[in-house]
Structure 1
Amino acid sequence: MSKGQNSGGLMSSAGLVRYFDSEDHNAPKISPKTVVAFGVLFGLLIQVLNAAF
């Protein structure tokens, strides 16, 4: 690679790093356990509805 070329590696991802580092303090906080429990319950509901019809 020549001396004057910029590979664009780190600089191209700098905006994404800045975006994901910022947190919205007004956003609702949901624990991972709640998300897993909701997924399991939703799956069971689908199984029950599938068996009923």
Structure 2
Amino acid sequence: MSSGQNSGGLMSSAGLVRYFDAEDRNAITVDPKAVMVFCVLFGIFVQILNAVGV
């Protein structure tokens, strides 16, 4: 490959990194601990429903 040709791989991925790294002020933020608590409670709920036979 000659030094004049650019495959574009690094250049195109750099744009995605900048896009996903930016934080929007209007975005909904959820605490990761709240997500974990919800998952645990949902799992317990499913186990209770399974034990009852629903």
Query: What residue identity is the alignment partner of 2:20?
Result: F
- 4+ runs deviating over 3 angstroms: none
Q: How many residues align?
A: 53
Gaps of 5+ in 1: none
Q: Is 1:27 matched with 2:27?
A: yes
Gaps of 5+ in 2: none
TM-score by length of 1: 0.81
Q: CA RMSD in A?
A: 1.3
Shift of 1:49: 0.4
Shift of 1:32: 0.9
Deviates more, 1:35-44 or 1:7-16: 7-16
User: Who is 1:38 aligned against?
Assistant: 38
Query: What residue identity is the alignment partner of 1:6?
Result: N
TM-score by length of 2: 0.80
Q: Is 1:2 matched with 2:2?
A: yes
Deviates more, 1:32-41 or 1:8-17: 8-17
CA distance in 1, matches of 2:8, 2:27: 33
Deviates more, 1:39-48 or 1:7-16: 7-16
